Structure 1
Amino acid sequence: MKGSAVGSVVLVPYADALMSLAQSQNLVDEFGDNCAALLELLDESPELSEILSNPIVKIVDKKAILANIVTDQVHPFVSNFLMILVDRRRIGYLRGICQRYQAALRALKGIVLAEVTSAVALTDAQTQSIRDRVQGMTGSNSVEIATNIDPEIIGGVIIKVGSQVIDSSLRAEIRRLGLSIA
């Protein structure tokens, strides 16, 4: 399945179901925290992602692994949701489902996600300045900052909010200068 097909067939319905359950139980923020913890776990352990995605690994084994790792870290409803994903052979899509859930949570709360790429780690003052600028630009209630470090941009920052990209990196300035000279 291609990216858009996976999005419409698997990710959206499961993320929507999780959001619906969270709203009905007044657990929207707790489920959001659980999804963040699961995403962090998947990022820290590529081996776990591989095991969960591997069709050769038995369902019983996947459930046992998840039970040992996440039972104490997530709400029981989220734990049950994970077991349903395993039963339906959709656990390999966990990362995408959690990301979709968090996007729905941000939309529900009027929070904008700004993906910021810089050459070096940003200070708290720089992060706050970017947060204020994006909030003024979008008129949102709040701004969540996701930072990435890419030394190849040399200096400056690249800010992505939705489909809008503000590239004030030194690499982009050099490219623009080269185009204007040519």
Structure 2
Amino acid sequence: MSNKNLTAKIAQPYAEAFLEVVKASSCVNKNVDAALQVINHSQELKSFINNPILSSNLKKNILKKIFFSDLDRLSMNFFLVLVDKGRINIIQIILEKYLELGYKISSIIIAEVLTSIPFTPSQHDLLIDKIKIMTGSKQVRLNINIKPELIGGFTIQIGSKIIDRSLQGQLKQIASHLESDSYLL
């Protein structure tokens, strides 16, 4: 079992427990996604969270300072519990699983999009509309990441289905066809 799969298995029960507590308290934590984005985009914060030498109290104090105004009390307490349990180092995966479960309950489709350049607002809206038609879903959320290696175009992953409309993907397809037809030369 890979390290990523093991981490995901460890993160799942924490995400489920957090979701249950949120549902039981009728609390809406709109800012969990924003907190995840802060963590994802700050290498310094990730290094801090993952540093085993730093004390739990120091980690708690810093997390309180960073997220105090952005997170509700319930979410902040959850972060602090993760510090106490020694699981703050996998907070990204826990929050991703939490959001995934929440979206699933709310019937929101998550599409992972890799693009060579950022979409314009009209392209973004058009892509959401197309995915709604494809999936029959009423709500779609795009997780967009820029990947210049695609050269041009984009890829979309919805569950296990991948749609590759990138120049890199087309070049790989052409190379594959040329290799398979090499016996004709």
Quick check: TM above 0.5?
yes
- Structure 1 distance, partners of 2:60, 2:145, is 33
- The secondary structure found in structure 2 opposite 1:55 is coil
Output the amino acid matched with 1:13: P
- The secondary structure found in structure 1 opposite 2:31 is helix
Structure 2, unaligned stretches of length 5 or more? Answer: 180-185
Other-structure match for 1:47: 44
Other-structure match for 1:155: 152
Matches within 5 A, 1:117-156: 117-156=114-153
1:24 and 2:24 aligned: yes
- The secondary structure found in structure 2 opposite 1:145 is strand
- The secondary structure found in structure 1 opposite 2:119 is coil
Other-structure match for 1:62: 59
Q: CA deviation at 1:128?
A: 2.0
Q: 1:90 aligns with which of 62, 87, 90?
A: 87
- Structure 1 distance, partners of 2:34, 2:84, is 22
- The secondary structure found in structure 1 opposite 2:69 is coil
Output the amino acid matched with 1:163: S
| More divergent stretch after superposition (147-156 vs 76-85) | 147-156
Q: 1:72 aligns with which of 69, 75, 83?
A: 69
Percent identical residues: 30
Structure 1, unaligned stretches of length 5 or more? Answer: none
TM-score under structure 1 normalisation? 0.90
- Structure 1 distance, partners of 2:4, 2:177, is 37
CA RMSD, Structure 1 to Structure 2 (Å) = 1.6
TM-score under structure 2 normalisation? 0.89
> Could you report, residue by residue, the CA deviation over 1:75-107 in whole angstroms, capped at 9, with x for unpaired residues?
111111111111111111111111011001110
Number of residue equivalences: 178
